[in-house]
Amino acid sequence: MEIWDTVIVGAGPAGLAAGIYAGRSKLSTLILDQMMPGGQLLITELIENYPGFSEGITGFELSEKLRVHAEKFGAKFENSQPVVDVALDGDIFVVKTDSKEIRGKTVIWAAGSVARKLNVPGEAEFVGRGVSYCAVCDGAFFKDKVVAVVGGGDSALEEALYLTKFAKKVYLIHRRDAFRAVKIIQERVKNCEKIEPLLNRVVESINGTQFVESLTLKNVKTGELEDLPVDGVFIFIGNEPNSAPVRFLVDTDERGFIITDENMATKTKGLFAAGDVRKKPLKQVVTAVSDGAIAAMSATKYLEEREG
Ligand code: NAP
């Protein structure tokens, strides 16, 4: 059975950058993902803060450039079922999906994160029928409709602005009285007539029959309940890390984000973590690719030391 020098799990910006650096180090490199390469870039319309692209670059275009770049240096890609477990067989990692096992001398875990759920009545029931976690995927279904966005971070505010391309009105519901998004985005939101912030409110339930028809909101200051008629609700309240398959091999914080040292090394020799799955202060494409580069160089060094 083939043993790869490195198996990279996750083809987002961290995994793809790791693929470029591992390939240039002449490591035999396999990049696994359930979807086409790009990760969360694929659900991002425009990236405005990736250095060197002053006009912005679409998430799709940047994914393609990173994929081509990794392939150019020899990384192989495999569309896989979800990785359910990573275990050690001696000093070889066994990366397991439901249907196969892949072996690697090192693993770079760059599996990213998934959208956090509100966990309110109606949320699960109306997914795909008015509840969405991806404006780029579903925004166009809401042409001339009224939608709500929940959250106060970069994602919520950026996606609210994006949704104004389609929706006639966007309510921006946030649980506090101040947004945490970067100031330039806050200013754009403030200047956008189609967006109406509803602050100090939380969603109590998402209501409808076949499709979403309204939200029940609670004012956290007064306790008052109100009914807000909407055709859809986009939820951007942060992310949960995809770290469960490696949880026995790594340390994590209380939310499951993987703790590494500055070399992206985890507590298990040969296992590195990179990108949004890692505990770190700034989650951006630029920090994801940086993590990936460091992880691949650390994997290279580890293999050189191990194999002389
Ligand atoms: P985030 O920064 O963690 O913000 C999550 C927001 O959702 C916060 O405003 C939070 O409220 C709110 N929230 C969390 N749990 C909630 C709940 N149960 N009910 C209601 N509201 C809840 O998440 P994000 O916006 O997805 O961003 C994730 C990371 O990616 C961040 O580091 C962000 O900077 C980065 N990002 C960057 C860009 C960019 O640079 N262009 C774009 C997107 C994302 P509180 O404020 O009260 O905590």
Q: Could you tell me the distance, in angstroms and rounded to a whole number, from the CA of residue 151 to the centre of ligand 1? A: 6
Contact 190, 213 (CB under 8 A): no
Taking the C-alpha atoms of residue 285 and residue 262, their distance in angstroms, rounded to an integer, is: 18
Residue 80 pLDDT: 87
Active-site choice (138, 154, 231, 276): 138
Q: Is 137 labeled as catalytic in the residue annotation?
A: yes
Q: Provide the sign of the torsion angle of the four alpha carbons 301, 92, 251, 290, taken in this order.
A: positive
**Do residue 82 and residue 153 come from a single domain?**
no
Residue 307 pLDDT: 86
Taking the C-alpha atoms of residue 238 and residue 255, their distance in angstroms, rounded to an integer, is: 12
Residue listed under structure tokens 């912030």 = 197
Q: Could you tell me the distance, in angstroms and rounded to a whole number, from the CA of residue 223 to the centre of ligand 1? A: 24
Q: Is 138 labeled as catalytic in the residue annotation?
A: yes
Residue 301 pLDDT: 98
**Do residue 244 and residue 110 come from a single domain?**
yes
Contact 275, 10 (CB under 8 A): yes
**Do residue 14 and residue 111 come from a single domain?**
yes
Establish whether residue 13 lines the binding site of ligand 1, counting it when its CB lies within 6 angstroms of any ligand atom: no
Q: Could you tell me the distance, in angstroms and rounded to a whole number, from the CA of residue 167 to the centre of ligand 1? A: 22
| DSSP designation for 139 | G
* Helical pair 154-163 and 183-190, crossing angle rounded to 10 deg: 30
Flag whether 228 is in a domain. Answer: yes
What CATH number should be reported for the domain holding residue 135? 3.50.50.60
Residue listed under structure tokens 């859809």 = 232
Establish whether residue 212 lines the binding site of ligand 1, counting it when its CB lies within 6 angstroms of any ligand atom: no
**Do residue 251 and residue 284 come from a single domain?**
yes
Residue nearest to atom 13 of ligand 1 (CA): 237
Taking the C-alpha atoms of residue 243 and residue 249, their distance in angstroms, rounded to an integer, is: 10
**Do residue 146 and residue 77 come from a single domain?**
no
Taking the C-alpha atoms of residue 171 and residue 201, their distance in angstroms, rounded to an integer, is: 11
**Do residue 111 and residue 206 come from a single domain?**
no
Strand partners, 102: 95
Boundary-marking domain end, from 184, 211, 235: 235
Q: In sequence order, which residues have a C-beta less than 8 Å from that of residue 120 and are 6 or more positions away?
A: 203, 204, 205, 206
Residue 1 pLDDT: 82
Active-site choice (137, 177, 251, 253): 137
Q: What's the whole-model pTM score?
A: 0.91
Flag whether 123 is in a domain. Answer: no
**Do residue 226 and residue 264 come from a single domain?**
no
Number of domains observed in the structure of the chain:
2
Sequential pLDDT tens for the chain (308 residues): 899 999 999 999 999 999 999 999 999 999 999 999 999 999 898 999 999 999 999 999 999 999 999 999 999 999 989 999 999 999 999 999 999 999 999 999 999 999 999 999 999 999 999 999 999 989 999 999 999 999 999 999 999 999 999 999 999 999 999 999 999 999 999 999 999 999 999 999 999 999 999 999 999 999 999 999 999 999 999 999 999 999 999 999 999 999 999 999 999 999 999 999 999 999 999 999 999 999 999 999 999 999 87
Flag whether 38 is in a domain. Answer: yes
Establish whether residue 267 lines the binding site of ligand 1, counting it when its CB lies within 6 angstroms of any ligand atom: no
**Do residue 109 and residue 167 come from a single domain?**
no
Boundary-marking domain end, from 183, 214, 235: 235
Flag whether 122 is in a domain. Answer: no
**Do residue 228 and residue 248 come from a single domain?**
no
Contact 109, 221 (CB under 8 A): no
Residue nearest to atom 16 of ligand 1 (CA): 237
Establish whether residue 255 lines the binding site of ligand 1, counting it when its CB lies within 6 angstroms of any ligand atom: no
Phi-psi region of 15 (alpha: psi -120 to 50; beta: other; left: phi over 0): alpha
**Do residue 108 and residue 178 come from a single domain?**
no
**Do residue 222 and residue 191 come from a single domain?**
yes
> Which atom of ligand 1 is nearest the CA belonging to 238?
23
Phi, psi of 63 (to 5 degrees): -55, -45
Cα angle value 290/294/298 (rounded, 5°): 170
For residue 61, the tally of other CB atoms under 10 A from its CB is 15
Residue 236 pLDDT: 98
Residue 308 pLDDT: 74
Domain coverage including residue 205: 131-235
Residue-wise pLDDT tens digits, 29-47: 999 999 999 999 998 989 9
Residue 263 pLDDT: 98
For residue 82, the tally of other CB atoms under 10 A from its CB is 13
**Do residue 101 and residue 245 come from a single domain?**
yes
CA nearest neighbour of 275 among 8, 6, 12: 12
Flag whether 139 is in a domain. Answer: yes
Q: Could you tell me the distance, in angstroms and rounded to a whole number, from the CA of residue 237 to the centre of ligand 1? A: 5
Contact 4, 302 (CB under 8 A): no
Flag whether 247 is in a domain. Answer: yes
Flag whether 246 is in a domain. Answer: yes
Flag whether 125 is in a domain. Answer: no
Boundary-marking domain end, from 235, 259, 277: 235
